[in-house]
Amino acid sequence: MSGEGRPRRHESGYRARWAVRTLLIYLLLCLIAVTTVGPFLVMISASLRPNFSYMTFPISLIPPQPSLDNYVRLFRQTAIGRWILNSFVVATSVTFLQLTTCSLAGYAFARGDFPGRDAIFWIFMGTLMVPSTVTIVPLFLILSRLGWVDTYAALIVPSATSIFGTFLLRQYFLTIPRDYDDAALIDGAGLFQIYRMVLLPLAKPALATLATLTFLGEWNSFLYPLIVTTKSSMRVLTVGLATMVVQEGGAGVQMAGATLTFTPTFLIFLFMQRYVVQGIALSGVKG
Amino acid sequence: MEGQSLVLGRGRVVRARQVGLAQRLRKGWRWYLFIAPNVVTFLVFILFSWVFLIYLSFHDWNLMGAKEFVGLDNYVRLAQDKVLRKALVNTFQYVLMFVAPVSAVSLGLASLVNQRLRGIYFFRAVYYLPVVTSIAVLALIWKYILIPRPDGIANYFLGLVGIPYQQWLVDIRLALPSITVMQIWSTMGYYMVLWLAGLQSIPEELYEAARIDGAGRWQLFRYVTVPMLRPTTIFILMIAMIGAFQMFGPPYMLTGGGPVYATTTMVYYIWLQAFNRYRMGYASTVSILLFAIILVASLIQRKYMRWSETIF
């Protein structure tokens, strides 16, 4: 209380009320945090327990005798090693391809002067809100006609470009002053060199946002990989998990699989959090 | 004379425009290379999909034989299909149970974390955690929590407050509400971030001015926050609704559309017709119906939101 200046009337009452309010807010914040994190703790806890056991009472989150048996069983009985590989191959390829195609197209829409530029751009934007699940049947039939069912091509190529990503990068390129382009132009740079040497390095934050969102989206996607793959060896992790529900009855093994699927996205979120939240907020503000 | 010169003038303009086009093409054709990958994937996987979708809806095709043209048969079947009617009712019920609550809950969350408090970023991140997690993982966790046994986790907590244990996903009345609660829990962090962006874009001066005018806490919310959040509100309601109409993962993972079709949604039904029964034509027709419903619902919502503009 010392060094706080002149004591005012009612100050102590006001402070006490403020302290109680803050305490209540923190209590509420913690309570909600328990409901969002609790299920994940349950998942990890259950993955370390005997396969067919349920929670004992009163609920103890830390298993009495933690063991990795469920994880061992998971790798022995399912193709989860292959599923993890597939998910990584698909998610990294799609991310890399989208960064390339979206930045190229975003550059053209931001800087290019060619007939039909605005028309093409607005046609693209028009499909942004169109629900994509509506066309899963014809999309599957197109891919099966191409002979792509159960191939990486089916999992990767249709997602190699993204309208949202193109829009995101176009908007970012528009914020970069044209003076940079002009300076490079005077130095004799061509269109591609301006893109590669000037704009791409400046767009790193937008590229990081797109990369994070794309990787997470691909790693987590479910309906699309479910319909374009039928063989166990071409399943991605999320779809593999779903087939386990039917084939592997034990909750412990299922929770072990869930934990393994969850871990990479958790780590990415931990380190790239700023970009995830920025990207979401951006997509919202622009609508 | 005057008319003639006008025609002449217009002809010149057209020619000049054509020359301009040729020139712009000659100067700018390289730009098409930059957008080529996007245009090609758009044409093949989006535009052609739509054309093919409409074509398929007039055909009967089980993947084995040839496509058979059946005219409007698939559309007639829509009207007679009792399971489809059930799927429609379920989907609408789900949209109603999901959209408004998730928007309200996430707005509450956003206001809560929109305060200058130590560690508030930590809480924001924690609330967002389910959003970056796959529906496959979330569904498995909730399946475990909602085990229909007296010693399941959800039932344990019910027992603590003296409510008899429930069958959750196996109960015909509780299955869809259970999925709804899970979906609200798993997506509220996403809408929280959108609300937060909206809240933070409101200039502080507006609140100060209102406070000087003697506005209380509720009045600040009602007369400053609510009207300033209008664009955010419209956007959130719209995407929450469009997303809700397409719910698929939880019924697939948790209930297989049951019990007795209680959780069969539109998209689950499309999946069932196409990839379980191999009726590609009919599945396409149901897809078109789903699209029409989403389109109409969006238009109604837009109109309603415009109308409500006069209130605020």
Kindly state the DSSP code that residue B148 receives in the 8-state scheme: S
Nearest CA in chain A to B281: A137
Nearest CA in chain B to A124: B42
Residues B199 and B186: beta-carbon distance below 8 Å? no
CB atoms A220 and B196 under 8 Å = no
* Nearest-CB residue to A273 (from B125, B235, B291): B125
Residues A117 and A179: beta-carbon distance below 8 Å? no
Q: Return the pLDDT at A276.
A: 81
**Cα separation, B77 vs B81, whole angstroms:** 6
**Cα separation, A198 vs A161, whole angstroms:** 22
* Nearest-CB residue to B127 (from A32, A127, A257): A32
Secondary structure class of A197 (helix, strand, coil): helix
**Cα separation, A74 vs B89, whole angstroms:** 39
Query: Residue A128: which pLDDT band, with cuts at 50, 70 and 90?
Result: confident
**Cα separation, B53 vs A137, whole angstroms:** 7
* Chain B contact probe: residue of A22, A24, A26, A29 with most B CBs at under 10 A: A29
Position A44 pLDDT exceeds 80: yes
Question: Is the C-alpha dihedral spanning A175, A178, A181, A184 positive or negative?
Answer: negative
Q: Return the pLDDT at B158.
A: 85
Helix, strand, coil tally for chain A in percent (to 5): 75, 0, 25
Could you tell me which residues come within 8 angstroms of residue B119 by beta carbon, excluding any fewer than 6 positions away?
A: none
Kindly state the DSSP code that residue A199 receives in the 8-state scheme: I
In this predicted model, what pLDDT tens digit does every residue of A246-279 receive, in sequence order?
665 688 889 999 999 999 999 999 888 888 877 7
Secondary structure class of B201 (helix, strand, coil): coil
Q: How far is A48 from chain B (nearest CA, A)?
A: 14
pLDDT tens digit at each of 312 positions of chain B: 334 444 444 555 555 566 678 888 888 888 999 999 999 999 999 999 999 999 999 998 888 878 888 888 999 999 999 999 999 999 999 999 999 999 999 999 999 999 888 888 899 999 999 999 999 999 999 998 898 888 788 888 888 888 888 888 988 999 999 999 999 999 999 999 999 988 988 998 999 999 998 888 888 888 889 889 988 898 899 889 999 999 999 999 988 888 989 999 999 999 999 999 999 999 999 999 999 999 999 888 888 776 555 443
Residues B192 and B111: beta-carbon distance below 8 Å? no
B12-20, long-range: CB < 8 A, 24+ apart = none
More confident residue, B30 or A1: B30
Q: Return the pLDDT at B13.
A: 53
Q: Return the pLDDT at A51.
A: 73
CB atoms A258 and B248 under 8 Å = no
pTM of the model: 0.88
Q: How far is B151 from chain A (nearest CA, A)?
A: 7
C-alpha to C-alpha distances, B230 to B1, B94, B202, nearest whole angstrom: 57, 24, 11
Question: How far is C-alpha A240 from the geometric centre of its chain's CA atoms?
Answer: 19
**Cα separation, A91 vs A217, whole angstroms:** 8
Kindly state the DSSP code that residue A267 receives in the 8-state scheme: H
CB atoms B128 and A266 under 8 Å = no
Between helix A237-247 and helix A80-111 the angle, nearest 10°, is 150
Strand pairing category for B68-69 and B59-60: antiparallel
Nearest CA in chain B to A154: B45
CB atoms A191 and B31 under 8 Å = yes
